[in-house]
Amino acid sequence: MYHLVYVSYASRPLHEKDLLDILTVSRMYNKKMGITGMLVYLQERFIQVLEGKEGPVNELYDMIRKDPRNKKVSLILEGTSSKRLFKGWSMGFKKISESDFTKLSGFIDPEKFFATPLTDTDGSAVMTFLQLFYKKNFVDYPEVNTY
């Protein structure tokens, strides 16, 4: 299973309705394309993992890079795994505060967290952080229908 993780900044502050719109469209598209993953919104910054067949995941990533709601899109990790890591989530989502981030990640400064050197999928602080949400099912707006 191919996966990638990217980080980007919102080009403008996003309100709850904006985030819900992104989530609704993402879930429909991802279900159609066989993509699962997780999206976290923290201080006008997105952290997202996408997984599925390499072609559709890369096509979606290209669309995200061109989306005017994003700027400074940076690919921070890509690879393969023997199984789907976010099974059941066409797109898990969580909007978190800086204090929630600190509690969950152990990092006081989000910028340092994102600058942490990546080793491999299992050792990546970012991937571990995203998988924590999945394992605890710690999401806003859970999906009604599972993937």
Instruction: Give the model's confidence band at 120: pLDDT under 50 very low, under 70 low, under 90 confident, else very high.
Output: very low
Read off the pTM. Answer: 0.74
How many of the other CB atoms lie within 10 Å of CB of 130?
25
Q: How far apart are CA 73 and CA 113, in angstroms?
A: 16
DSSP assigned state of 82 = S
Reply yes or no on whether the pLDDT at 117 is more than 80: no
Q: Where are the domains of the chain?
A: 2-136
Distance CA 29, CA 34 (A): 9
Q: Quick one: 36 exposed, middle or buried, by C-beta within 10 A (0-12, 13-18, 19+)? A: buried
2-136 folds as Alpha-Beta Plaits (3.30.70)
CA distance 84 to 91: 13
What gap in Å lies between CA 91 and CA 87, rounded to an integer?
Answer: 10
- Enclosing H/E stretch for 23: helix 16-33
Tell me the per-residue pLDDT of 39-49, one tens digit each, with 9 for 90 and over.
Answer: 888 878 888 88
